[in-house]
Chains A and B, each alone.
Chain A
Amino acid sequence: MEEPNLNYINELAGDDNDFRATLIGVIKNELPTEINEYQDNLAAQNFNAAADNVHKLKHKISVMGMEQSYYLAEKFENNLKSSSTLLQAEFGQLLMAMQGFAASL
């Protein structure tokens, strides 16, 4: 699996350390909430709402520089829209990797 990284954030922020810190703060702040919402909706079998959560998480995935995982999320989002949970396990692993990375920042 791809490793989350800060390449995009570093490139975007350049020498602006405040902006870099802002972006990292947004990730640390928003990611756990978004993941919780996704898990709650999935548990309740609210697939469309869970697809919306995955859609929002896609931006975090791309910001964490994980191109391949982005496509995985895109497919999973479409599966959820069709009430299918195919790729749920893979997406779950991706979220764990992102959470671990965010916590280490």
Chain B
Amino acid sequence: MARAIITQMISKDPELKLAKEFSNAIPAIKFLNQDTEGADLIFLDIHMPDFTGFDFIQTIRNPPAVVLITSDKNFATDAFEYDCIVDYIVKPITEDRFLKAVRKAKAHRILESAGYATSVAAAPTAAAPIVQDIPEYKPKDTATEFYVNIDRRLIKIEISSVNVVEAKGDYIHIKTEQKNYIVHSTLKKIEEKLPETLFLKVHRTYIINTKKIIDIEDNSVLIGKDVIPVSRANRPELIKRLNML
């Protein structure tokens, strides 16, 4: 049923082409691991007999963007562990929700091609419509936010509002213009979510938004009220980024 609905929705978008649909995970895995044309997006059910969508993702070699389709709301936090999962739709699927997921997949594709996102080894279900030929989009269409998991809530943070990210043990401290967040993650993981044109790792434990620098003095930068250390190794790259007079 879900496959019939998704297939219909794909057929209404001229920018999408249905590469193949599967009622079983195994031939889908073979297709994705062998097919030379590949696929840009997979609609994947989490719940399959003897196989989960997450198992599926971990079995395919280079997972493209994945939109999870499920009756379970409980897997949302697990889904965000996988960089290739761009959206999570709870059944029944509506057209608006489908279109939103496709928009996210297109944005993901641009970020990935620009090196801002990585495909994570980590997906589908009994039904996996696979889509090819998502067109390249202009940067203005790309996502401008990311989500963090805090106390089982997924909180949206606007990328442009982030001033500094600081690593603190097993956590990162995300400082934005309005609020600060403590998130169980690593500097490396958040670095993969932030555009390189804006953000720079200036120290082993700090990533800064270079647009938010107020001044630079020797081996530190002032951002908001925070003085951030700059390591000797990272200083040349920081200086290179500045629009010096």
Contact in complex: A59, B1 (CB < 8 Å) = yes
Considering the complex, give the chain A residue whose CB is closest to the CB of B5: A12
State the main secondary structure of chain A at its contact with B.
helix
Residues of A near B2 (CB, < 8 A) are 59
Interface centre among B1, B4, B91 (most CB of A within 10 A): B1
Bits for B1-39, please: 1 = Cβ < 8 Å to A, else 0.
110110010000000000000000000000000000000
- Pick out which of these stretches binds chain B: A20-28, A39-47, A86-94, A95-103: A20-28
Given A22-B4, A23-B5, A55-B92 contact (CB < 8 Å): no
A85 at the interface (CB under 8 A from B): no
Residues of A near B4 (CB, < 8 A) are 22-23, 26
Number of interface residues of A (CB under 8 A): 18
Contact in complex: B49, A59 (CB < 8 Å) = no
Bin chain B's interface residue count: 10 to 19
Residues of A near B5 (CB, < 8 A) are 12, 23
Given A23-B1, A23-B4, A62-B92 contact (CB < 8 Å): yes
Give the shortest distance, in Å, between A19 (CB) and chain B (any CB): 5
B94 at the interface (CB under 8 A from A): yes
Contact in complex: B92, A8 (CB < 8 Å) = yes
B8 touches which one: A11, A19, A55 (CB < 8 A)? A19
Contact in complex: B49, A60 (CB < 8 Å) = no
Bits for A3-32, please: 1 = Cβ < 8 Å to B, else 0.
000001001100010010011001100100
B104 at the interface (CB under 8 A from A): no
Considering the complex, give the chain B residue whose CB is closest to the CB of A52: B49
Considering the complex, give the chain B residue whose CB is closest to the CB of A30: B1
Contact in complex: B1, A63 (CB < 8 Å) = yes
Q: For the complex, give the distance between the alpha carbons of A58 and B91 in Å.
A: 9
Contact in complex: B1, A12 (CB < 8 Å) = no
Contact in complex: B92, A63 (CB < 8 Å) = yes
B145 at the interface (CB under 8 A from A): no
Q: Could you list 5 examples of A-B contacts with CB < 8 Å? A: A22-B8, A30-B1, A55-B47, A58-B71, A62-B92
Binding site for B on A (CB under 8 A): 8, 11-12, 16, 19, 22-23, 26-27, 30, 52, 55-56, 58-60, 62-63
